[in-house]
Structures are given as structure tokens and as C-alpha cells.
Structure 1
Amino acid sequence: MGRQRQPQIKQRLLDACTDYALEHGLPDRLGPLAAAAGTSSRMLIYHFETRDGLLREVLGQARRRQVEAFTDLIRLRPDEPYPATLDRAWSAISGPQGQPYLRMFGRLHDTAGEPLWPGFRRTATTDWLAPLEEGMRSLGRPELATVVLAVIRGLLTDLAATGDTARTDQAFQDFLATIVTRG
């Protein structure tokens, strides 16, 4: 009779693998993840069944961390005008705090990511609409939530492609100015 799987060990391994993947990206082989988790590739397979199974769980955990952090950044605060909230959120999302997530999930936005996370592009497009809509409602313009999300996503794509922080930051400031003017 085999040993019982221990969920706390699996979670510890998943945490270590997720930390590694956020810092270095998803590796092609299990070796780097095993080393980061202080275990063997064989033990990773034991707990996650396949390499793709492990990678899916790593992506899922990283996405949960990102959604939690970024949703908190864009949520409406009673003591702050919403454009100021968006400005602060943009700095975090496009800066060092957001870079690990942008690197990791960047490849999932194209069709290459479909095998690991079917439907990721749709999920990544819609999961922040509700808090953005609530924030934009404070300006009397909840219908602009999709526009705000599209601008953020577009500028993040631009930033990832060009590395031009100054230009994308200025573009976001210009966009915020139009919200304030229209609000």
C-alpha cells in the first residue's frame, strides 16, 4: 500500500515553485523547480502527476496572487479620488511589483499559452472589470471600466515590447487627464 499524499507538503512545493517561476519564468524542465523546492523531479511528479499539471498549478497560484494584489490596488477608496488610485495602481502594476506577473503571464496572452491555461485571455480580460467599474462609478462613468482596462492592458503590452517606461507612464498620465476632464 502506498503512502498517503500530504497536502501541506504539496502546498509547500507549490509555493516554492511559484516563487521560482515568478522570479525566473516557467522553465522548460522540472530540474530548476525541483531545486528551488528542495526536492527531486520525481517528487514533483508524485505530487502533481505531470509536468504540465505542476505548471498549471503554478500558473493558477501565481494568478491568484496577482489578482489579490492588483484588485486591492484598483479598489475604490473612500478617502482618495479614483484617478489618484489608478495612478498609484499603474505605478505598481507596471513597476517592479508587477513585472514578475507580466513576464509570467505575457506568453499566456497569445495562443501559445492555450494548452497550459485554456481560456486565460478571456479570464485575464474580465477579472478586473468589476472593481474598475465600481471605481469609475465614483466619477459618474462606470461604462468606462472597459476603456480603462483596455488602456492598462495595451500600455502593459507596449511596455513589455519596448521597455519604454517613460513613454508608457506619460501615456497613462495623459489618459488619466482625460478621465478627470470628462469626470
Structure 2
Amino acid sequence: MAVGDARRGDPEGARRAELLDELLRYSAEHGLSEVSLRPLAAAVGSSPRVLLYFFGSKDGLVREVHRHARREQVRVIDQALAEDAEPAAAVRALWEWLADPAHHNIEKFFFEGFARSLHATDGPWHGFAATSVAEWLPRLISALEGSSANPTLILAALRGLLLDLLATGDHERVSAAADELIRSI
């Protein structure tokens, strides 16, 4: 059941969905890797017992927050790509969303999960990076249909540009590079 569906009919599902939203907001601001359940629960207006009830364990909670974050990213890319059929315009809409400072905390959380998953052989971080690529790449392939642009290269370039932007805050320089990339599509 999708998070939005859970809110409509099932009170437990609605509470779980609300917790996921709060946990994502907290995670985007503070990360999840070093926090224990008690302070995390307090920060999101819950209790460790309730978090364990809904997510089974801290690992389960981390996995679910990452899934929720990926669903949000997929929703955003789908919306950006649906708004304009022209490949360059679709990628521009996506870049504008990614470059918006209002989204930087969730993107930092994304990169935390991505980096941790590169070392994880199990646990909550395992497979996060590969799943992210598997979710984004088909959408870019579809958006870039009819273009000579390489979807893997565009995905890698957008992520690299975003990392640069998050690290330096140099919006003007990085956005100029993004514009050059988009013009090449």
C-alpha cells in the first residue's frame, strides 16, 4: 500500500505514513546512522515502542525511511519528466528541482544512504545505491528517447553536479555546468 493510500482508510497505516514523513524530515536534517531510537522517537513525536511496532527494528526503520525517500525522488522525477516531452526541458525541470536549496537536506540524506550502501553487504543500507539507479535510469531512458544523449551519462553527471553543489554551495558555477550539460541533449 502506498503511503498516500494508507492515509485514506487505515488509521494504523495513516500513523505509519505520518511517522515516515516525520522520520524523513528528521533524517534529511540530521541523518540516521548515528542516532538511537529513544532520541529519534522523541524528535518525531513518538516512542521507541511505537517505532519498533511499525518498523520492527532500527534497521527496518532505516530501510523504510530510505524506501520512502526513494518514492519521493521517483515521484519528483516522474513529475518533472511528465511536464515536458522535450528531453532537454525534462532534464532542466529535474535539475531545477534538485538545485533548489529547499531540497538539499533530503539530497544529503540520499547521498549518505548511497555512500553507505557501497560498503553494506546486508542491513538497512544494503542495495540502496543499486536500487536508486534501477529506479532512475529507466525514467531517464524514456525521457531521453529521440535524443542522442546517454542516459547513464546524464544520470551520473546530474549526481556529480548535485554533489558539487551540496559540497560547495556554488549555485552559479554548478548551474552553469548543468546548463551546458542540458544544452548537449
- The bucket for the TM-score relative to the shorter chain is 0.7 to 0.9
Rate the CA distance shift 1:126–1:13 in 2: closer, same or farther, 3 A.
Answer: closer
Deviation at 1:134, TM superposition (A): 2.0
The size of the alignment, in residue pairs, is 171
Residue 102 in structure 1 maps to residue 107 in structure 2: yes
CA contact (8 A) 2:25 2:106 kept: no
2:7 aligned partner: none
Residue 82 in structure 1 maps to residue 87 in structure 2: yes
Deviation at 1:97, TM superposition (A): 4.4
Rate the CA distance shift 1:134–1:167 in 2: closer, same or farther, 3 A.
Answer: same
Residue 28 in structure 1 maps to residue 8 in structure 2: no
Rate the CA distance shift 1:10–1:88 in 2: closer, same or farther, 3 A.
Answer: closer
Give the TM-score of the pair, scaled to structure 1.
0.78
Larger Rg: 1
Structure 1: which 5+ runs fail to align? 1-5
State the alpha-carbon separation in 2 of the partners of residues 135 and 28 from structure 1.
38
Deviation at 1:24, TM superposition (A): 3.8
Rate the CA distance shift 1:94–1:129 in 2: closer, same or farther, 3 A.
Answer: same
1:128 pairs with one of 111, 124, 136: 136
Deviation at 1:84, TM superposition (A): 2.1
2:177 aligned partner: 171
SS of equivalent residue, structure 2 residue 49: helix
SS of equivalent residue, structure 1 residue 137: coil
State the identity %.
Answer: 34
State the alpha-carbon separation in 1 of the partners of residues 77 and 105 from structure 2.
13
Say which is worse superposed, 32-41 or 162-171, in terms of deviation: 32-41
State the alpha-carbon separation in 2 of the partners of residues 172 and 9 from structure 1.
39
1:19 aligned partner: 25
